[in-house]
Protein backbone atom coordinates (compact mmCIF):
# COMPACT_ATOMS: atom_id res chain seq x y z
CA UNK A 1 0.00 0.00 0.00
CA UNK A 2 2.81 2.43 0.89
CA UNK A 3 4.50 1.79 -2.46
CA UNK A 4 1.27 2.48 -4.30
CA UNK A 5 0.72 5.76 -2.44
CA UNK A 6 4.33 6.90 -2.84
CA UNK A 7 4.07 6.35 -6.60
CA UNK A 8 2.01 9.55 -6.85
CA UNK A 9 5.06 11.61 -5.89
CA UNK A 10 6.82 10.22 -8.96
CA UNK A 11 4.23 11.59 -11.34
CA UNK A 12 5.51 14.20 -13.81
CA UNK A 13 2.99 16.83 -12.73
CA UNK A 14 4.02 16.56 -9.05
CA UNK A 15 7.70 16.98 -9.90
CA UNK A 16 6.86 19.95 -12.11
CA UNK A 17 4.84 21.60 -9.33
CA UNK A 18 7.62 21.07 -6.83
CA UNK A 19 10.11 22.90 -9.05
CA UNK A 20 7.73 25.87 -9.26
CA UNK A 21 7.19 25.87 -5.49
CA UNK A 22 10.93 25.65 -4.79
CA UNK A 23 11.47 28.75 -6.93
CA UNK A 24 8.48 30.73 -5.60
CA UNK A 25 6.78 30.49 -8.99
CA UNK A 26 3.69 28.52 -7.99
CA UNK A 27 0.63 30.70 -8.61
CA UNK A 28 -2.29 28.34 -8.11
CA UNK A 29 -4.66 27.89 -5.15
CA UNK A 30 -3.77 31.34 -3.83
CA UNK A 31 -5.79 31.89 -0.65
CA UNK A 32 -8.10 34.90 -0.99
CA UNK A 33 -9.02 36.30 2.41
CA UNK A 34 -11.47 38.98 1.31
CA UNK A 35 -13.10 40.12 -1.92
CA UNK A 36 -14.85 43.26 -3.11
CA UNK A 37 -15.18 42.09 -6.74
CA UNK A 38 -12.54 44.29 -8.39
CA UNK A 39 -10.12 43.87 -5.46
CA UNK A 40 -9.09 40.96 -3.26
CA UNK A 41 -6.94 40.56 -0.17
CA UNK A 42 -4.19 37.91 -0.21
CA UNK A 43 -1.72 37.52 2.66
CA UNK A 44 -3.13 40.71 4.14
CA UNK A 45 -2.37 42.74 1.00
CA UNK A 46 -4.91 44.25 -1.39
CA UNK A 47 -4.63 43.30 -5.06
CA UNK A 48 -6.48 44.45 -8.17
CA UNK A 49 -8.24 41.35 -9.48
CA UNK A 50 -7.84 40.78 -13.22
CA UNK A 51 -8.02 36.99 -13.09
CA UNK A 52 -11.74 36.54 -12.44
CA UNK A 53 -14.72 35.56 -14.61
CA UNK A 54 -16.94 37.94 -12.64
CA UNK A 55 -17.46 40.03 -15.77
CA UNK A 56 -20.42 42.08 -14.53
CA UNK A 57 -19.13 42.36 -10.96
CA UNK A 58 -22.51 41.20 -9.65
CA UNK A 59 -21.11 39.09 -6.80
CA UNK A 60 -21.19 42.24 -4.68
CA UNK A 61 -24.26 44.00 -6.11
CA UNK A 62 -26.55 44.96 -3.18
CA UNK A 63 -29.74 43.63 -4.80
CA UNK A 64 -28.08 40.35 -5.72
CA UNK A 65 -26.65 39.78 -2.25
CA UNK A 66 -29.99 40.67 -0.65
CA UNK A 67 -31.76 38.09 -2.82
CA UNK A 68 -29.33 35.38 -1.70
CA UNK A 69 -29.82 36.27 1.98
CA UNK A 70 -33.62 36.19 1.69
CA UNK A 71 -33.49 32.80 -0.04
CA UNK A 72 -31.52 31.30 2.84
CA UNK A 73 -33.99 32.77 5.32
CA UNK A 74 -36.91 31.20 3.43
CA UNK A 75 -35.50 27.87 2.20
CA UNK A 76 -32.41 27.21 4.32
CA UNK A 77 -28.91 26.54 3.04
CA UNK A 78 -29.48 23.49 0.83
CA UNK A 79 -32.03 21.34 -0.99
CA UNK A 80 -30.76 18.00 0.41
CA UNK A 81 -31.52 16.00 -2.70
CA UNK A 82 -31.83 15.89 -6.46
CA UNK A 83 -34.54 17.80 -8.25
CA UNK A 84 -35.82 14.47 -9.58
CA UNK A 85 -36.86 13.47 -6.04
CA UNK A 86 -37.04 15.97 -3.17
CA UNK A 87 -34.91 18.94 -4.23
CA UNK A 88 -37.12 20.67 -6.80
CA UNK A 89 -38.02 24.06 -5.27
CA UNK A 90 -40.35 26.60 -6.83
CA UNK A 91 -37.43 28.98 -7.38
CA UNK A 92 -35.66 26.41 -9.60
CA UNK A 93 -38.64 26.49 -11.94
CA UNK A 94 -38.91 30.28 -11.68
CA UNK A 95 -35.27 30.56 -12.78
CA UNK A 96 -35.86 28.21 -15.72
CA UNK A 97 -38.88 30.19 -16.91
CA UNK A 98 -37.08 33.52 -16.66
CA UNK A 99 -33.99 32.18 -18.40
CA UNK A 100 -36.02 30.74 -21.28
CA UNK A 101 -37.51 34.20 -21.93
CA UNK A 102 -34.12 35.89 -21.46
CA UNK A 103 -32.30 33.56 -23.88
CA UNK A 104 -35.20 33.24 -26.31
CA UNK A 105 -35.52 29.44 -26.37
CA UNK A 106 -38.61 27.36 -25.59
CA UNK A 107 -37.36 25.72 -22.42
CA UNK A 108 -34.43 25.66 -19.98
CA UNK A 109 -33.10 22.95 -17.66
CA UNK A 110 -30.99 24.13 -14.71
CA UNK A 111 -28.11 21.93 -13.51
CA UNK A 112 -26.00 22.18 -10.36
CA UNK A 113 -22.82 23.20 -12.24
CA UNK A 114 -21.77 24.19 -15.73
CA UNK A 115 -19.60 21.08 -16.01
CA UNK A 116 -22.61 18.88 -15.23
CA UNK A 117 -24.72 20.82 -17.75
CA UNK A 118 -22.43 19.89 -20.62
CA UNK A 119 -21.76 16.36 -19.43
CA UNK A 120 -25.43 15.60 -18.86
CA UNK A 121 -26.86 17.24 -21.97
CA UNK A 122 -24.22 16.15 -24.49
CA UNK A 123 -24.03 12.56 -23.27
CA UNK A 124 -27.84 12.40 -23.53
CA UNK A 125 -28.29 14.11 -26.90
CA UNK A 126 -25.59 12.08 -28.69
CA UNK A 127 -26.66 8.46 -28.94
CA UNK A 128 -24.78 5.42 -30.31
CA UNK A 129 -25.62 6.24 -33.94
CA UNK A 130 -24.85 9.96 -33.60
CA UNK A 131 -21.78 12.14 -33.99
CA UNK A 132 -20.44 15.17 -32.11
CA UNK A 133 -18.00 17.53 -33.87
CA UNK A 134 -16.22 19.99 -31.60
CA UNK A 135 -13.77 22.88 -31.84
CA UNK A 136 -10.21 21.94 -30.84
CA UNK A 137 -10.14 24.77 -28.25
CA UNK A 138 -13.44 23.95 -26.56
CA UNK A 139 -13.68 23.91 -22.77
CA UNK A 140 -12.57 20.80 -20.85
CA UNK A 141 -16.18 20.01 -19.94
CA UNK A 142 -16.97 19.46 -23.63
CA UNK A 143 -13.88 17.30 -24.10
CA UNK A 144 -14.92 15.18 -21.11
CA UNK A 145 -18.48 15.04 -22.44
CA UNK A 146 -17.18 13.67 -25.74
CA UNK A 147 -15.63 10.80 -23.79
CA UNK A 148 -18.91 10.08 -22.02
CA UNK A 149 -21.31 10.13 -24.95
CA UNK A 150 -22.05 6.87 -26.75
CA UNK A 151 -21.60 8.29 -30.24
CA UNK A 152 -18.53 9.13 -32.30
CA UNK A 153 -16.61 12.38 -31.87
CA UNK A 154 -14.45 14.43 -34.21
CA UNK A 155 -12.45 17.64 -33.76
CA UNK A 156 -12.03 20.48 -36.23
CA UNK A 157 -9.33 23.16 -36.25
CA UNK A 158 -10.06 26.09 -33.97
CA UNK A 159 -12.63 28.46 -35.49
CA UNK A 160 -11.75 27.08 -38.95
CA UNK A 161 -14.99 26.72 -40.89
CA UNK A 162 -13.28 24.96 -43.81
CA UNK A 163 -12.00 22.32 -41.41
CA UNK A 164 -15.48 22.00 -39.88
CA UNK A 165 -17.19 21.55 -43.24
CA UNK A 166 -14.58 19.02 -44.35
CA UNK A 167 -15.23 16.86 -41.27
CA UNK A 168 -19.00 17.02 -41.82
CA UNK A 169 -18.77 16.33 -45.54
CA UNK A 170 -16.52 13.30 -45.03
CA UNK A 171 -18.80 11.73 -42.42
CA UNK A 172 -22.39 12.92 -43.01
CA UNK A 173 -23.67 9.66 -44.46
CA UNK A 174 -22.39 7.55 -41.57
CA UNK A 175 -24.56 8.92 -38.77
CA UNK A 176 -28.20 9.42 -37.90
CA UNK A 177 -27.61 12.74 -36.20
CA UNK A 178 -24.61 15.10 -36.27
CA UNK A 179 -24.07 18.05 -33.93
CA UNK A 180 -21.53 20.89 -33.96
CA UNK A 181 -20.41 21.81 -30.43
CA UNK A 182 -18.46 25.02 -29.85
CA UNK A 183 -17.79 27.70 -27.27
CA UNK A 184 -19.52 31.00 -27.98
CA UNK A 185 -16.61 32.92 -26.44
CA UNK A 186 -13.45 30.86 -26.03
CA UNK A 187 -12.21 30.93 -22.46
CA UNK A 188 -8.45 31.26 -23.01
CA UNK A 189 -8.08 33.50 -26.06
CA UNK A 190 -11.34 35.42 -25.79
CA UNK A 191 -12.18 35.05 -29.47
CA UNK A 192 -15.76 34.53 -30.63
CA UNK A 193 -17.21 31.59 -32.56
CA UNK A 194 -17.90 32.23 -36.24
CA UNK A 195 -21.57 31.53 -35.73
CA UNK A 196 -22.99 32.91 -39.03
CA UNK A 197 -20.72 30.64 -41.08
CA UNK A 198 -21.40 27.75 -38.72
CA UNK A 199 -25.16 28.14 -39.13
CA UNK A 200 -24.80 28.21 -42.90
CA UNK A 201 -22.82 24.95 -42.87
CA UNK A 202 -25.25 23.32 -40.43
CA UNK A 203 -28.21 24.15 -42.68
CA UNK A 204 -26.41 22.84 -45.76
CA UNK A 205 -25.82 19.44 -44.20
CA UNK A 206 -28.80 19.25 -41.80
CA UNK A 207 -26.65 19.32 -38.67
CA UNK A 208 -27.55 20.48 -35.14
CA UNK A 209 -25.67 23.26 -33.28
CA UNK A 210 -24.87 23.36 -29.55
CA UNK A 211 -23.19 26.50 -28.19
CA UNK A 212 -21.42 26.59 -24.82
CA UNK A 213 -21.85 30.25 -23.89
CA UNK A 214 -20.34 30.16 -20.40
CA UNK A 215 -18.20 33.22 -21.19
CA UNK A 216 -20.73 34.91 -23.48
CA UNK A 217 -23.74 35.00 -21.15
CA UNK A 218 -24.01 38.43 -19.54
CA UNK A 219 -21.37 39.78 -21.90
CA UNK A 220 -22.45 39.41 -25.52
CA UNK A 221 -25.72 40.44 -27.16
CA UNK A 222 -28.51 42.75 -26.05
CA UNK A 223 -28.41 43.16 -22.25
CA UNK A 224 -26.03 40.19 -22.04
CA UNK A 225 -28.30 37.63 -23.69
CA UNK A 226 -25.29 35.87 -25.16
CA UNK A 227 -23.45 35.07 -28.36
CA UNK A 228 -26.44 33.65 -30.21
CA UNK A 229 -28.30 36.90 -29.55
CA UNK A 230 -25.23 38.94 -30.54
CA UNK A 231 -25.41 37.43 -34.03
CA UNK A 232 -29.22 37.52 -34.17
CA UNK A 233 -29.32 33.73 -34.54
CA UNK A 234 -31.15 32.56 -31.43
CA UNK A 235 -33.78 30.71 -33.46
CA UNK A 236 -31.14 29.04 -35.64
CA UNK A 237 -29.11 27.52 -32.79
CA UNK A 238 -30.70 24.35 -31.45
CA UNK A 239 -29.08 24.22 -28.01
CA UNK A 240 -27.47 26.87 -25.83
CA UNK A 241 -25.59 26.26 -22.60
CA UNK A 242 -24.59 28.80 -19.97
CA UNK A 243 -23.22 29.02 -16.46
CA UNK A 244 -23.95 31.14 -13.40
CA UNK A 245 -20.35 31.07 -12.13
CA UNK A 246 -19.19 33.91 -14.38
CA UNK A 247 -21.41 36.90 -15.08
CA UNK A 248 -24.21 35.71 -12.80
CA UNK A 249 -22.11 35.67 -9.63
CA UNK A 250 -23.20 32.26 -8.40
CA UNK A 251 -22.70 28.60 -9.31
CA UNK A 252 -24.73 26.32 -11.55
CA UNK A 253 -25.52 25.99 -15.21
CA UNK A 254 -28.28 25.44 -17.73
CA UNK A 255 -29.10 24.15 -21.18
CA UNK A 256 -31.81 25.69 -23.35
CA UNK A 257 -33.55 24.45 -26.49
CA UNK A 258 -36.74 22.89 -27.84
CA UNK A 259 -39.24 21.74 -25.20
CA UNK A 260 -39.27 18.09 -26.24
CA UNK A 261 -35.47 17.87 -26.20
CA UNK A 262 -35.28 19.53 -22.78
CA UNK A 263 -37.88 17.12 -21.40
CA UNK A 264 -35.81 14.20 -22.71
CA UNK A 265 -32.63 15.59 -21.07
CA UNK A 266 -34.52 16.24 -17.82
CA UNK A 267 -35.50 12.57 -17.54
CA UNK A 268 -32.32 11.02 -18.95
CA UNK A 269 -29.21 13.06 -18.02
CA UNK A 270 -27.38 11.24 -15.23
CA UNK A 271 -25.58 14.36 -13.98
CA UNK A 272 -28.99 16.00 -13.53
CA UNK A 273 -30.90 13.10 -11.98
CA UNK A 274 -28.16 11.92 -9.63
CA UNK A 275 -26.84 15.27 -8.34
CA UNK A 276 -28.18 17.42 -5.53
CA UNK A 277 -29.90 20.52 -6.89
CA UNK A 278 -28.56 24.06 -6.81
CA UNK A 279 -28.80 25.53 -3.28
CA UNK A 280 -31.42 28.26 -2.73
CA UNK A 281 -28.96 31.14 -2.37
CA UNK A 282 -27.34 30.26 -5.71
CA UNK A 283 -30.70 30.03 -7.47
CA UNK A 284 -31.90 33.33 -6.02
CA UNK A 285 -28.63 34.99 -7.05
CA UNK A 286 -29.09 33.87 -10.66
CA UNK A 287 -32.71 35.06 -10.68
CA UNK A 288 -31.65 38.46 -9.33
CA UNK A 289 -29.01 38.76 -12.08
CA UNK A 290 -31.55 37.98 -14.81
CA UNK A 291 -33.99 40.51 -13.33
CA UNK A 292 -31.27 43.15 -13.10
CA UNK A 293 -30.25 42.72 -16.76
CA UNK A 294 -33.88 42.75 -17.90
CA UNK A 295 -34.45 46.08 -16.16
CA UNK A 296 -31.10 47.85 -16.57
CA UNK A 297 -28.40 47.10 -19.14
CA UNK A 298 -26.06 49.85 -17.89
CA UNK A 299 -23.84 47.30 -16.15
CA UNK A 300 -23.18 45.61 -19.53
CA UNK A 301 -22.40 49.00 -21.07
CA UNK A 302 -19.95 49.73 -18.23
CA UNK A 303 -18.23 46.41 -18.91
CA UNK A 304 -17.72 47.18 -22.59
CA UNK A 305 -16.50 50.67 -21.81
CA UNK A 306 -13.80 49.11 -19.62
CA UNK A 307 -12.96 46.47 -22.23
CA UNK A 308 -12.40 49.15 -24.88
CA UNK A 309 -10.26 51.22 -22.49
CA UNK A 310 -7.96 48.38 -21.42
CA UNK A 311 -7.81 46.85 -24.91
CA UNK A 312 -6.67 50.16 -26.39
CA UNK A 313 -4.06 50.48 -23.64
CA UNK A 314 -2.56 47.03 -24.26
CA UNK A 315 -2.46 47.69 -28.00
CA UNK A 316 -0.60 50.96 -27.49
CA UNK A 317 1.92 49.15 -25.26
CA UNK A 318 2.55 46.62 -28.01
CA UNK A 319 1.32 43.42 -26.36
CA UNK A 320 0.06 40.53 -28.47
CA UNK A 321 -3.52 39.86 -27.28
CA UNK A 322 -4.66 37.37 -29.95
CA UNK A 323 -7.01 40.00 -31.38
CA UNK A 324 -9.46 39.53 -28.51
CA UNK A 325 -12.51 41.78 -28.57
CA UNK A 326 -14.08 40.44 -25.36
CA UNK A 327 -13.44 40.96 -21.62
CA UNK A 328 -10.95 38.06 -21.82
CA UNK A 329 -7.66 39.59 -22.94
CA UNK A 330 -4.76 37.10 -23.08
CA UNK A 331 -1.22 38.47 -23.00
CA UNK A 332 1.15 36.25 -24.98
CA UNK A 333 4.37 35.42 -23.13
CA UNK A 334 5.63 32.24 -24.81
CA UNK A 335 8.00 30.66 -22.31
CA UNK A 336 6.28 28.97 -19.36
CA UNK A 337 8.85 29.95 -16.73
CA UNK A 338 8.76 33.54 -17.94
CA UNK A 339 4.95 33.49 -17.63
CA UNK A 340 5.35 32.46 -13.99
CA UNK A 341 7.99 35.14 -13.40
CA UNK A 342 5.76 37.82 -14.92
CA UNK A 343 2.86 36.65 -12.74
CA UNK A 344 5.10 36.96 -9.65
CA UNK A 345 6.10 40.48 -10.68
CA UNK A 346 2.48 41.52 -11.24
CA UNK A 347 1.49 40.07 -7.87
CA UNK A 348 4.26 41.95 -6.06
CA UNK A 349 3.03 45.15 -7.72
CA UNK A 350 -0.55 44.55 -6.52
CA UNK A 351 -2.06 42.83 -9.58
CA UNK A 352 -3.74 39.42 -9.30
CA UNK A 353 -3.52 37.74 -12.72
CA UNK A 354 -3.46 34.09 -13.80
CA UNK A 355 -0.80 32.30 -15.85
CA UNK A 356 -1.91 29.73 -18.43
CA UNK A 357 0.53 27.01 -19.45
CA UNK A 358 0.48 23.57 -21.07
CA UNK A 359 -1.75 21.55 -21.32
CA UNK A 360 -4.32 24.39 -21.23
CA UNK A 361 -2.40 25.93 -24.15
CA UNK A 362 0.25 24.40 -26.45
CA UNK A 363 3.83 24.28 -25.14
CA UNK A 364 5.77 27.51 -25.78
CA UNK A 365 2.44 29.37 -26.05
CA UNK A 366 2.18 30.33 -22.36
CA UNK A 367 0.15 33.44 -21.65
CA UNK A 368 -1.22 35.60 -18.88
CA UNK A 369 -5.01 35.41 -19.01
CA UNK A 370 -6.44 38.74 -17.94
CA UNK A 371 -10.16 39.49 -17.70
CA UNK A 372 -12.10 42.61 -16.85
CA UNK A 373 -15.27 43.61 -15.03
CA UNK A 374 -17.92 46.28 -15.17
CA UNK A 375 -16.94 47.34 -11.64
CA UNK A 376 -13.26 48.07 -12.40
CA UNK A 377 -12.53 51.77 -12.00
CA UNK A 378 -10.49 53.62 -14.62
CA UNK A 379 -7.83 54.25 -11.96
CA UNK A 380 -7.53 50.49 -11.38
CA UNK A 381 -7.27 49.80 -15.09
CA UNK A 382 -4.67 52.54 -15.53
CA UNK A 383 -2.62 50.98 -12.75
CA UNK A 384 -2.82 47.59 -14.50
CA UNK A 385 -1.44 49.14 -17.68
CA UNK A 386 1.38 50.86 -15.80
CA UNK A 387 2.51 47.61 -14.17
CA UNK A 388 2.28 45.68 -17.44
CA UNK A 389 4.38 48.37 -19.13
CA UNK A 390 7.06 47.79 -16.49
CA UNK A 391 6.83 44.03 -16.94
CA UNK A 392 7.17 44.30 -20.71
CA UNK A 393 10.53 46.03 -20.40
CA UNK A 394 11.80 43.99 -17.46
CA UNK A 395 11.01 40.58 -19.03
CA UNK A 396 11.31 41.48 -22.71
CA UNK A 397 7.77 40.29 -23.44
CA UNK A 398 7.34 39.75 -27.22
CA UNK A 399 5.11 42.03 -29.25
CA UNK A 400 4.21 39.31 -31.77
CA UNK A 401 3.04 35.72 -31.52
Query: How does the average pLDDT of the chain come out, rounded?
Result: 94
**Residue 340: pLDDT over 90:** yes
* Predicted structure pTM score: 0.94
Mean pLDDT of 319-331: 94
178-190 core/surface letters (b: 16 or more CB in 10 A; e: else): bbbbbbbbbbbbb
**Residue 363: pLDDT over 80:** yes
pLDDT digit string, tens, across residues 220-270:
999 999 999 999 999 999 999 999 999 999 999 999 999 999 999 999 999
Strand order in the sheet with 45-49: 32-35, 39-42, 45-49, 351-352
pLDDT digit string, tens, across residues 58-113:
999 999 999 999 999 999 999 999 999 999 999 999 999 999 999 999 999 999 99
**Residue 180: pLDDT over 70:** yes
The alpha carbon dihedral of 181, 198, 311, 338 has a sign of: positive
The pLDDT score that the predictor gives to residue 124 is 93
Distance, CA of 330 to CA of 351 (rounded, Å): 15
Of the candidate ranges 100-104, 187-191, 207-211, 313-317, the one whose mean pLDDT is the lowest: 187-191
**Residue 43: pLDDT over 80:** yes
Q: Give the strand pairing for 152-156 and 130-135.
A: parallel
Cα 218 to Cα 64, 69, 171, 304, 372, distances in angstroms? 15, 22, 36, 11, 13
Distance, CA of 58 to CA of 62 (rounded, Å): 9
| CATH number for domain 19-49+297-395, candidates 3.30.360.10, 2.60.34.10, 3.30.460.10, 3.90.1150.10 | 3.90.1150.10
The confidence band for 15, taking pLDDT boundaries of 50, 70 and 90, is: confident
pLDDT digit string, tens, across residues 24-33:
888 889 999 9
**Residue 173: pLDDT over 90:** no
The confidence band for 369, taking pLDDT boundaries of 50, 70 and 90, is: very high
Percent of the chain with pLDDT over 90: 83
Taking every pair of Cα atoms in the chain, the longest distance, rounded to a whole number of angstroms, is 61
For residue 196, give the nearest of 167, 219, 228, 173 by alpha carbon.
228
Give the domain ranges of the chain: 19-49+297-395, 61-295
Cβ contact 376:343 at 8 Å: no
Query: 61-295: which CATH topology?
Result: 3.40.640
The residue that leads in pLDDT, 127 or 303, is 303
Distance, CA of 223 to CA of 294 (rounded, Å): 7
For residue 374, give the nearest of 56, 65, 63 by alpha carbon.
56
76-103 core/surface letters (b: 16 or more CB in 10 A; e: else): eeebeebbeeebebebbeebbebbbebb
The pLDDT score that the predictor gives to residue 44 is 96
The pLDDT score that the predictor gives to residue 115 is 93
Of the candidate ranges 139-143, 153-157, 204-208, 333-337, the one whose mean pLDDT is the lowest: 139-143
The pLDDT score that the predictor gives to residue 150 is 78
Amino acid sequence: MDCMISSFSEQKIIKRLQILKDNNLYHFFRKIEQSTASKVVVNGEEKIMIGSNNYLGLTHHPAVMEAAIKAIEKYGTGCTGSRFLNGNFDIHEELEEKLAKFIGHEKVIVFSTGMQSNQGALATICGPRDCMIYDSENHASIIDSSRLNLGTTFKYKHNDMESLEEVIKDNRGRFKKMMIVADGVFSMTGDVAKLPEMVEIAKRYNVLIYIDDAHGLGVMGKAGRGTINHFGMTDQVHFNMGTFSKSFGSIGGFVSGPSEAMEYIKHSARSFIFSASMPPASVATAIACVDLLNNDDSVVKNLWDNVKFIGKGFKELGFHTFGSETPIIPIFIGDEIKAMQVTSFLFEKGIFATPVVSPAVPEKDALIRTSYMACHSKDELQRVLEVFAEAKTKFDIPTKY
